[in-house]
Structure 1
Amino acid sequence: MKAVQILGERGNYRLALASSLPKPVTKADQILIKVHAAGITADEVSWVEVYKTPSRIPGHDISGVIEELGPSYDGPLSIGDAVFAMLDADRGQGMAEYAVASASEVARKPKSVSHAEAAALPIPIITAWEALSRHAKLTPRSRVLVTGASGAVGVMATQLAKVLFDAEVVALASEARHEYLRRLPSGVSEVVDYKTPGWETKIGEVDAVFDTVGGEVLSKAWSTVKSNGVIVTVADPPPRWALEKGVVPAELASKPGVRYIYFVLSVDAEALSRVAGFIDEGRVKGLDVIEFPTDQALDAWAYASHRGRLGKTVINFC
């Protein structure tokens, strides 16, 4: 099969498009998916997990059709079903014509979007879902600030906060993306330009901050959270307090009652299934995608590494 491979070592790698790698084989209750499209997470080239796999194939967000079910699979899915999945970080290997997934990673694809559009969704959906539900523990009609709101995770978070919790959402993004955010079906209550001096003093208090940016933006966001509120971040790179034992945020000195969490997402087929339903109902809009054919896979990775791009980069394998 054809697949993207990472050759070399971390910090000294190169990408290649291989054409004769072995097709994976299912075991136990695994699911073999004929991949129609795979979404690119450009930062993956720095993740240690992919370098531990024998194939060195990256890729976690995929959409395709079930080709084979393992001998002990007894779930609701069938051969021929259109599905999308987030493959576990320890295994990945989705950027290929075929990929193996576990039952806990796979959900039926939203019917109203293409495979390319579906392949852009899993990591953003699950990250936003876990941040809001599991870590921020939002309650109905909370007031939430989402930083980096026009990014893939931010777009999902602004919508899910409204759909799941009827939250009042304040979206922090560049002015050029404000109209896009206002047009989302679930809507945002307020959009704020992160380039505006003192934006953090003009928002007012929020119950929760979901940060996707980190750095100075995260530090400023502390000014907006209530004294008993919560800050959840998935910033890359993570804040120092997320990496070093015994280190706490400097901002905690003035707001000791604030909970602060950094997390790495886990696979969650239930979240994918729920949000697929919201998309098909028109309550949540998917992401804009930029599609590349298989033979332009390396160009796709180069494009995906540009921070200023609009849309999620996807490689079509079918």
Structure 2
Amino acid sequence: MTDTMMALRAHARGGPEQLVYEAAPVPVPGPGEALVAVHAAAITFAELSWDESWTTRDGRDRTPVIPSHEVSGTVAALGPGADGVTVGEEVYGLIDFDRDGAAAEYVTVPAAHLAARPRSVSDVEAASLPLAALTAWQALVDHAALEPGERVLVQGGAGGVGSYAVQLAAILGGTVAATGHAGQRDFVLGLGATMFLAPGAGNTAGYKAVAPDGFDVVIDTIGGAVLDASYELTRRG
């Protein structure tokens, strides 16, 4: 391994037009970190405009920055005290946004933030999974504490977060209804929803038919008027 690699780096805030493909130092894994040879990376919309992307946690400037904080690749080296993964293992994970991302040949990641890549999907598919799936998991488990048998409504069940929310809610034992456009019906039902509803803030009758007393959990991925209307769809208590 050489001391330099090729990477996409931004030297100023903005959008993709700020990115430059250039040589950069290969990062060295610190204590508890793994060096990952990147096979695929995913970028989050607008991340180059976030304050978090440009400063460290103690407020120091990080210019230039490497974007793309979802990664799939192979562990190339381990720093002192890193465990849970091994050199040569295929992994995927989410990189904190105040660190350099994975739009490069190599990236360092806390080993605890990596997991074995599922072999049922490609590197590209694995790299698109962590942020959306973790968001859905946190909503259902950490915040809603979903219990088997509870009724769940996912507003926007065919979207990035919504599609994982539908699957995870069904796996966790929820009875899942989801909204989407007409052409998304079969896809959403195939994810594990038992009821498909038209989207929008004015579909109160459709919601009430599914859950007359309201839903135990409502996850909105749309916002605006749909979010405003979602509050009254939750059951009392």
Specify if TM > 0.5: yes
Tell me the residue number matched to 1:199. Answer: 203
What runs of 5+ residues in structure 1 fail to find an aligned partner?
229-318
SS in structure 2 at match of 1:9: coil
State the SS of the aligned residue for 2:102: coil
Answer yes or no: is 1:227 the counterpart of 2:230: no
Question: Match of 2:34?
Answer: 31
Q: Which has the higher contact order (CA 8 A, sep 6+)?
A: 1
Partner of 2:140: 132
Which residue of structure 2 aligns with residue 41 of structure 1?
44
CA distance in 2 between counterparts of 1:200 and 1:34 reads 50
Runs (4+) of structure 1 exceeding 6 A deviation are: none
String of CA shifts for 1:239-277, please: whole Å, max 9, x gaps: xxxxxxxxxxxxxxxxxxxxxxxxxxxxxxxxxxxxxxx
1:170 and 2:180 are equivalent in the alignment: no
Match of residue 189 from structure 1: 194
Aligned-pair CA distance for 1:91: 1.4
CA distance in structure 2 between the partners assigned to 1:43 and 1:174 by the alignment: 26
TM-score of the superposed pair, with normalisation by structure 2: 0.88
Using the TM superposition, give the Cα deviation of residue 92 of structure 1 relative to its aligned residue in structure 2, in angstroms: 4.1
Contact 1:55 1:93 in 2 (8 A): no
1:55 and 2:64 are equivalent in the alignment: yes
- Superposed CA RMSD in Å reads 1.7
How many residue pairs align between the two structures? 222
1:32 Cα deviation from its structure 2 partner:
0.3
Gaps of 5+ in 2: 56-61, 209-213
- Identify if the C-alpha distance between structure 1 residues 13 and 124 changes in structure 2 by more than 3 Å, giving closer, same or farther: closer
* 1:67 to 1:13, Cα distance in 2 relative to 1, 3 A: closer
Matches within 5 A, 1:54-93: 54-73=63-82, 75-93=83-101
Q: Quick one: distance in 2 between partners of 1:156 and 1:34?
A: 27
Does the 8 Å contact 1:2/1:17 carry over to 2? no
Q: In structure 1, what is the Cα distance between the partners aligned to 2:234 and 2:54?
A: 39
Question: 1:24 Cα shift?
Answer: 0.8
Q: How does 1:205-220 map to 2 (within 5 A)?
A: 205-220=214-229
- 1:277 maps to none
Contact 1:4 1:15 in 2 (8 A): no
What amino acid sits opposite 2:220 in the alignment?
A: D
Alignment check: 8 A CA contact 2:54 2:98 kept:
no
